[in-house]
Structure formats: C-alpha cells, structure tokens
Amino acid sequence: MSSAASSRPKSVPRGRVDKRKAILDAAFTVFARRGYAQACVQEIAEEAGVAKPTVYSHLSDKETLFRHAVEAALDALLEEKLTVIGRLRARAPDEDPHAALTDLAHGLARICCGEPARALRRLTYAQAAQFPDLAETTQERTVHRPRAALADRLARLSLAGALRPCDPEQAAEHFFALLTGPLESRSLLGTRRVPAAELRGTAEAAVDTFLRAYAGDRQLSQTTAEGDRPDGS
Amino acid sequence: MSSAASSRPKSVPRGRVDKRKAILDAAFTVFARRGYAQACVQEIAEEAGVAKPTVYSHLSDKETLFRHAVEAALDALLEEKLTVIGRLRARAPDEDPHAALTDLAHGLARICCGEPARALRRLTYAQAAQFPDLAETTQERTVHRPRAALADRLARLSLAGALRPCDPEQAAEHFFALLTGPLESRSLLGTRRVPAAELRGTAEAAVDTFLRAYAGDRQLSQTTAEGDRPDGS
DNA sequence: ACGCTGCTGAACTCATGCGTTCATTCTAGA
DNA sequence: TCTAGAATGAACGCATGAGTTCAGCAGCGT
C-alpha cells in the first residue's frame, strides 16, 4: 500500500497509467502521515505525481478522497487477516492447538503492528466523531469479520476436543483482546514501531494465557506445564 | 469535568471566578466534541462563558490549551482508576478473588466507557502523530500506572495462593486486555454509548477468562464450575 | 471619588488551504 | 498527420480561523 507510493513516482510518463489507483494510494499515505485535517490535497497530488485538478477530476472531494482511500486500505487489511486466519483450516483439527495458535497470533501481530494498520487505527479514531459511518465500517472490517472467521475455526477446535466447550465468538474476542491489547500499549498508540522480539513474546504470552483459559481437558496439563516461566519481555 | 461546563455558564457574574479552570474544562469539552483541528477557540471561549482574548491571556496558544486540557483530563481519569484499583487493598487477601475482581472489572469498565475516557482516547489517537510526547504521557497515565497498581495487588493475591504464581505485570496486562478490548469493539471506537447490561456482561466474561487462566490451585475447581455457561451477552 | 486591573466585544491582519478556472501541452487513436 | 480528450501548472476567489488590537467598562481597594 504505502510501500508502492513512498518511492515518489515523480516522473510517471505522464501518459496513461492507472492514475486513480495512484491517487488513492497517495491519499492514504499522506493522510496517514498528517492526519485528515492537516493533509492538503496539493501534497496528495504531488505524492501521486499528478496535478491538483487531476485529483479533483477523479475524486470530487477531500472527504470522498478520504473515504475511498480508507476503505481501500481497510479491504486490503481485512484480506490479509482472513488469509492468516484461513491458514488454521489447513491444520489437522486434532493436532496440538498450541503451535497453530502461535502461528496465527504471530501472523496477526505482524499485521496489526504494520504501518497500514496503525495508520488506519489513528485515522479512524480521529475521525470517528466526524464520519461515524466510517467508524462502523472500520469495526466491521477490522474486528467483526476477522472475529467471526476465527470463531468458526475455534468452534472446530472445540468440537475436536482441543478446546473446552465454550462460546466461540467470545473465545475469539478474548483471543484478539489478549493479542492486540498488549500490542497496542507497546506501540504507544501506533506511534512506535514494535521490535520483532517483543512482538513474538507478546504473541506467545497471549496464546499461553488463552490456552490456559480455553484449552480442552486433553490439552490442559501439557499447556500448563509448558508456559510456566513468568515471562520474557 | 465536562459536567460542570456542559450547563453553559453563559451568565457568570463577570467578576472573579476561577476562569482558568473554566477555560480548561470548556476546552476539553469542545475538543472532545469537534476534535483538535475542527475545534475553534471562539467556541471554547463561548463554552467557558468568556471572551476570546481572555482565553489567550490565560493560555498562550491553541496547542497549549489542548495540552493542558488533555493533561488535566488524564490526571482526573488516572485518579479514578487508581481509586477503583485501590479498593482491592481493603479486601481480605485470602478471600475468593472472583467477587473482588468482578467489582474491579465493573468499576474499570464504567470508567473506560465514560465520555471523558472515550473522548480522551479519540483525541490522543488523533494527535498521536502531531504531538508524540502527548501520546507517551497518555500511555503512562492511562495504561502503565494503572497496570503497575493492579500488578501490585495481583502479586499479593498470588502470594496468598488465590492466583497461581505468575508475572504480575503480565497478569495485569492481560486483565486489562480482556476487559478493555471487548469494550472497545462494543463502543465502536468510542462512538457508541455501551449499555450497562453489556458492560456488566463484558466485565464478568473478562474476569471469568482471567481466573481460568490465572486462578491458583485453591480456586481452580470452584471457578471453573461457576463460569461454565458459554456466555450471556 | 479615583484609578488600577482584568474582562469584554468587535474589528482587524494574516496565513492556510479548498475547490475552480483557463490557456497550454501531451498522448492516443483514426 | 490531425484531432479529441486528458493532464498540466499557475493563478484565482473565497471561506475559515488563529492570534492581536483597542477602546470601553465593571468591580475593588484606597
């Protein structure tokens, strides 16, 4: 997303390129950098390697620009998360869930701490009051849908006896909470880049606690023994 | 905080009042309502029942105004949280931790879903890029200090055998995560007012899961039996 | 009664930035 | 090669709002 635009395509051959996409990418980059109010359309145009009137010919408004840019970024992020969650499907349902969940947690942690996700969180929080419908879309795409997808997977694990009988929606919610809550505080509201080691430690701690609370009888003793050192961060 | 200013003291007797406090309260109210960039000093002055030059005579800048208003709100919020956490101290350390933690969770949930806390989260997220030091102060006051305070209490519970041996800092972190994560998603990024019933249910679910993961051997069977219905929200 | 101090309100300057206009230039396609 | 449509860039009008100025006014101590 921002990686493509951050190389400042100043010298696009001026002819036919996919200007619209370039503009939306640039818009997200600049909004992420400055925030909605502080971002000016001129800078977006420059970032996209395009003239200001061109921007207005594609997207009528600064607000429209913002909405489309944010929604595109949301979609990309959702897809990433669903892919990582979907990897659970490939696992044998009766395998030890510890390894599978650790992989999952680590994958999700990497996504949540990536620049796009952090920027998106800042932007949607900031404009939650001004564009309440966007806040709703955001929750839907970044929280509810991934949670539902995870709940499906956890339900299967539960049936297979790897997790105790429980409400899978709530289990998924708690899984995400244990993972993203600590990450949130470690990234200083998305301000700071979380080092990979911390990220891994946080993910493991989350899985540990999650399994202590949700592991099925079959797994309990094993898990409890394994995660007994206090911490490591 | 905002309750004093929300009654629009349009007709202050013009003479000596604590203008400065009125201004800071009004500033927080207006910033919370509009966001930093959209808030205008004129509106803050009106909300405080004061003329615009008076505002500038007390606080030199819009930025200064913002910082002082936010920090005052942060302090108030921190004190509230510490008070609620401090109530754990009064409990007998060998008593069943379930009741104590539920009280705590419920108290914290009420604070975190209150208008000041939600507004504060929106504001600091929004301006995290522009005023990074404020983001740090915010984390310190709203996360680290309360977590440290809770960790102290949990350490005592652990020593008393009510919780299993564990890193109290991490236990506290997970406790907060299990509580505030779900609350966050239920309040739609602070946009929506969470109904009391949901709030209570979330708090109980958080304590449930927390105790399943952290209860000491003495408590394990009891807790596990008690929280066995899937959910309730 | 007098003047000092702090507040008022209205008007002002100035910077910023949205959205638009227009004459010009480029590219694609016939 | 010629033409239509898209893109350019530079300038413009206009609104908004930060921060300031200033003449007047209320209260208060003396």
Question: pLDDT-based confidence at B25, cuts 50/70/90?
Answer: very high
Mean pLDDT of B53-59: 94
Is the CB of A13 less than 7 A from some atom of nucleic acid strand C?
yes
Task: Calculate the angstrom distance between C1' of C26 and CA of A14.
Answer: 8
| A13 min Cα distance to partner chain B (Å) | 34
Question: CA B139 to CA B131: how far, in whole Å?
Answer: 13
**pLDDT tens for each residue of A5-22:** 333 333 334 445 588 999
Contact A173 B188 (CB under 8 A): no
Nearest to A188 by CA among B65, B109, B142: B142
| B113 min Cα distance to partner chain A (Å) | 15
Q: What is the pLDDT of residue B59?
A: 93
Question: CA A93 to CA A63: how far, in whole Å?
Answer: 46
Question: CA B154 to CA B176: how far, in whole Å?
Answer: 12
The tokens for A218 are 């079959």
Q: Which of A32-36, B13-17, B166-170, B208-212 is predicted with the least confidence, judged by mean pLDDT? A: B13-17
Report the amino acid identity of residue A108: L
Answer whether A209's CB lies under 8 Å from A178's CB.
yes
Answer whether A179's CB lies under 8 Å from A202's CB.
yes
| B38 min Cα distance to partner chain A (Å) | 8
pLDDT at residue B231 above 80?
Answer: no
pLDDT at residue B91 above 60?
Answer: yes
Question: CA B86 to CA B67: how far, in whole Å?
Answer: 28
Q: Which residues contact B134 (CB under 8 A, 6 or more apart)?
A: B67, B70, B124, B127, B128
Checking B20-24 for CB contacts under 8 A at 24+ apart, the result is B20/B58, B22/B48, B22/B49, B22/B50, B23/B48, B23/B50, B23/B54, B23/B55, B23/B58, B23/B59, B23/B65, B24/B59, B24/B65, B24/B68, B24/B69, B24/B72
Could you tell me what percent of chain B has a pLDDT over 70? 85
Q: Does B4 or B123 have the greater pLDDT score?
A: B123
Which residues of chain B make contact with A213, given a CB cutoff of 8 A?
209-210, 212-213
Alpha helices by DSSP H, listed for chain A, are 2-5, 19-34, 41-48, 52-58, 62-86, 97-112, 115-126, 132-139, 145-159, 168-186, 196-214, 217-226
Q: Does A95 or B16 have the greater pLDDT score?
A: A95
Answer whether B151's CB lies under 8 Å from B172's CB.
yes
Across B130-182, the runs of DSSP E, i.e. the strands, are none
Look over chain A and give the mean of its residue pLDDT values, rounded to a whole number: 87
Q: Which of B78-87, B101-110, B125-134 is predicted with the least confidence, judged by mean pLDDT? A: B125-134
Contact A130 B35 (CB under 8 A): yes
Task: Calculate the angstrom distance between C1' of C7 and CA of B78.
Answer: 34
Mean pLDDT of A99-128: 94
Could you tell me what percent of chain A has a pLDDT over 70? 85
Nearest to B203 by CA among B183, B184, B222, B220: B183
Task: Calculate the angstrom distance between C1' of D29 and CA of B17.
Answer: 18
CB pairs A-B closer than 8 Å: 146
SS3 B159: helix
Question: pLDDT-based confidence at A188, cuts 50/70/90?
Answer: confident
pLDDT at residue A147 above 80?
Answer: yes
Q: Which of A42-56, B82-96, B164-178 is predicted with the least confidence, judged by mean pLDDT? A: B82-96
Q: What is the pLDDT of residue A232?
A: 39
B10 CA to centre of own chain = 30
| Tokens 């509106």 -> residue | B43
Structural domains in chain A, sorted by start: 2-58 (1.10.10.60), 62-226 (1.10.357.10)
Q: What is the pLDDT of residue A16?
A: 52
B129 touches chain A (CB under 8 A): yes
DSSP B38: T
Mean pLDDT of B8-32: 73
- Footprint of strand D, using CB within 7 A? A 12, 14, 19, 49-54, 57; B 13-16, 38-42, 52-53, 56, 60-63
